[in-house]
Every structure is written in structure tokens, then in C-alpha cells.
Amino acid sequence: MNIGLFGGTFDPIHRGHLALARAACERCKLSRVLFVPANVPPHKQAQPLSAFAHRYAMIALATAGVRDFAPSLLEAPEEFELKSDRGKTTRPEKPNYTIDTVLRLKQSLKKADRLFLLIGIDAFTDIAKWHQAEALFRECEFVVASRPGFSLADVANALPASLRPRQEVTRPFQKQAATGDLLLGGVTIHLLNEVYQPVSSTAIRQAVAAGKPLTRFVEPSVADYIKKTGLYKGR
């Protein structure tokens, strides 16, 4: 079986996330995509974050009608509770590293199963800074949602130093769009072209704070949840 793991803060989950997952399913014949909200995202520790329970609930709502999509508790806090009516929570100490999540998930997979890590190109360009980045490339294949303006050379140059091809090798690909499959000595990256939609969780939080409608950005059930819980108001 081909399994997709899609990690993020999902604060909230939006149509860009769902489009990426759908395109990855089609391209890599995924039987299941696990949406894994991080309890403590390593790269976003400075900004306020909604409670894990809210972010998980919105994923459950957004994926409810899709057979192959499922919310995952792989990075859930040991015990989580809502600490205020706005849903903000205090930060526990330990960040969720993707390599730990991948290794934990693999314990429940069969040898023949293939694991694919879904990620947008913005996050991918920072991948070399991730905890045990090289190990991550050994443990799973990557599915990267690219967008216009990023080249194949940008993707290769983002790799951790030990896996990165030399400049002379990547230079000819500076003008080649980031699309197709990139196979580089043990690293497999499937590039999804033009999946990226002009939407972000940040823009959604700002829209709520400004009292603007959300239906263009999120599933109706998620918009309804945000309204009923008062999430993002006054941020």
C-alpha cells in the first residue's frame, strides 16, 4: 500500500491542503493520506497556535466525506484540553519532529508499504534545517507541491548538504520548472506542478479577524466550526 503522511499546523486546514493531498493521491496512487496536526511544530514555536483539539476537529470535518483521507493523532499531546474559550494553549516543551513521527508510523506498516511525505515547496525549501533531514529522505519518498517561479535546481539545492548535487550539476536546471520526478542517489521527490492555491492559514485567520467570509478558502463544515467556536476572532 502507498501511504501519504501530510504534516502541518493546519490552523486551520484549507482548500490548498486538500488540493495538494488530492493531487498526491492521484500521482502516487496513495490508498490513504494521514493529515497529522503537530502539537508543537518545531518551526512555528514563536507564534500563537490554536489548541490541538480544534485543529484536529477541523481536519476531521474537512476530510469526513473523503474515503482515503483521515485525521491522525500521531503527534497528539499525551493529554490535551482546551485552556480558554479562544482555544489558545500553553506550549509543552518538546517539539514534534517529523522523523520521529515517520519512524513511529512505519512500525505499523508492512515492509512492502511505501511511505510518501507530502509537503508544499515553501516548507520544502527549509528542509535541510529539519531535525535529521538526511534520515527523512532515507525513510520516505517526498511529494512536493511546487508552484510557478520554482525550478528543478531550487528543489535540488534545498536538499541537505550531504545529499545535494554540486552546483555544476544543478546549474543547467535553473530555468526548468519544478515538475516530474527527481531521483538523486537514494532520494525520490515527486513534484506536483500548479497545485498551489493562493490561500494560507494566515490569510484565513486574518479574514476571520476582519469579519470577512471564509467559504472560498475552507470547507463549509470548517467555516461553520470556526464561526461556532469563535476561533481567530480578535487575533
Positions in the binding site for ligand ATP (CB under 6 A): 8-11, 16-17, 20, 119-120, 122-123, 145, 195-197, 199-202
CB nearer to ligand ATP: give 61 or 79: 61
Retrieve residue 80's grid coordinates. Answer: 490535551
CB nearer to ligand ATP: give 126 or 181: 126
Cβ at position 143, least distance to ligand ATP in Å: 10
Q: Is the dihedral of CA 115, 95, 196, 165 positive or negative?
A: negative
CB nearer to ligand ATP: give 103 or 199: 199
* Strand ranges inside the chain, DSSP E: 2-8, 32-37, 69-71, 114-120, 141-145, 180-184, 187-192
Cβ at position 133, least distance to ligand ATP in Å: 14
Distance CA 117, CA 3 (A): 9
Cβ at position 94, least distance to ligand ATP in Å: 19
Cβ at position 197, least distance to ligand ATP in Å: 5
Task: Answer yes or no: are the C-beta atoms of 52 and 37 closer than 8 Å.
Answer: yes
Distance CA 39, CA 83 (A): 14
CB nearer to ligand ATP: give 122 or 169: 122
